Amino acid sequence: MGPQFRNVMLAGLSLVASQLSIPSAELIAAESQAGWQAGYEEAQETATRAGLPLLIHFHAWYCGPCRQMDSQVFSDPDVQRALQTGVISVEVDVTKDPDLAARYNATTVPRDVVIYPGGLTETLNIGFVPRGSYLSMLSSIAQRGEKFRVTQPRPEIAAAGTARPETARAAGDQAGDTDAASPPESSGMLGLDGYCPVRLAQNREWVKGKPEICEEHRGVTYRFASEADRTAFRERPAHFAPQNLGCDPVLLYSSQKAISGRIEYGAFFDERLYLFSSMDNKNEFKKNPLKFTRIQHAIRAEDVRDSRLQ
């Protein structure tokens, strides 16, 4: 074999070796996705059928901490195995599915939200989480999910009473005390007693909505002061409607009871309206709002139809 032919053979082997090395990188990328479901709807259906918790990891292409988690956390085989052990997991890009992100209040990323069997929804992490902590979180979800599969608790439904709003207030952002003017006596049984949720959120004003300008959201009918207000509501209903269908978040957290709040005990936190059944609960909320807002509860209108919906 002459030197020229040998050089050609070596060059060919080098080319083959370089070509073989290319798929290995692609294989690693494919394997790193092994623990994720293909999409949200598929994941939701699988979780419901299997009676397992559904973990949603919200991320975005422009997010530095998200890319950091991809390279340092989700590339780990142990993490990928844990993502499909006792839990159904799916990634959601907030830029591709903004409606789903809004539904779960995923205003910042990365963020992990879990929905347990029975509907209890909890925000677990916001921001970068190292590998060890993420594995611990996944193990905790799986263990807690087993308990939910057995009991599947649902909130106890109770009414908070039907007192009229005489000194209604809505506190400012971050649960501060920027109060709106007190509304006049209400005689309605609609969402927010017929007051316009858009005017309340945008201007902290109690303005009666018009019966002919209304919109239904999650089984509750809201009235609006103008067509423009209704249009704004249609674009972002979860932003303007009271959280938890107007049920007191403190009682939801402490006793799993879905008790309707009153509009005189309202507070805005993170631009979202929360209603409370008493001033004591409102003050308790203001001490540590994140404690009561990190968990979202699956409450349906029919569950509280005998209560005073606000």
SS3 per residue for 200-265: HHHHCCCCECEEEEEEEECCEEEEECCHHHHHHHHHCHHHHCCHHHHECHHHHHHHCEEEECEEEE
- Residue 187: pLDDT band by 50, 70, 90 thresholds? very low
pLDDT of residue 193 exceeding 80, the answer is: yes
- Residue 33: pLDDT band by 50, 70, 90 thresholds? low
Q: Bigger pLDDT: 189 or 5? A: 189
Average pLDDT over residues 78-83: 92
Query: Regarding beta strands 54-59 and 88-93, do their DSSP bridges make them parallel or antiparallel, or are they unpaired?
Result: parallel
- Residue 252: pLDDT band by 50, 70, 90 thresholds? confident
Q: What percent of the chain has pLDDT over 90?
A: 30
Q: Which H/E stretch holds residue 148?
A: helix 131-151
Q: Which fold has domain 32-151?
A: Glutaredoxin (3.40.30)
Radius of gyration of the chain (CA): 25
Q: Minimum mean pLDDT among 53-57, 159-163, 236-240, 305-309: which range?
A: 159-163
Q: Bigger pLDDT: 22 or 3? A: 3
pLDDT of residue 307: 41
Mean pLDDT, the chain, as a whole number? 75
Average pLDDT over residues 270-294: 85
pLDDT of residue 153: 40
Average pLDDT over residues 58-65: 94
pLDDT of residue 95: 92
Are 306 and 162 contacting, i.e. CB atoms less than 8 angstroms apart? Answer: no
pLDDT of residue 164 exceeding 70, the answer is: no
Average pLDDT over residues 259-263: 83
Average pLDDT over residues 169-182: 41
For residue 254, give both structure tokens: 């402490």
Is the whole-model pTM more than 0.75? no
Strand order in the sheet with 272-276: 170-171, 262-269, 272-276
Are 59 and 66 contacting, i.e. CB atoms less than 8 angstroms apart? Answer: yes
Q: Bigger pLDDT: 69 or 272? A: 69
Ordered by start, the domain boundaries in the chain are: 32-151, 156-304
pLDDT of residue 293: 75
Q: Minimum mean pLDDT among 62-71, 127-136, 163-172, 242-251: which range?
A: 163-172
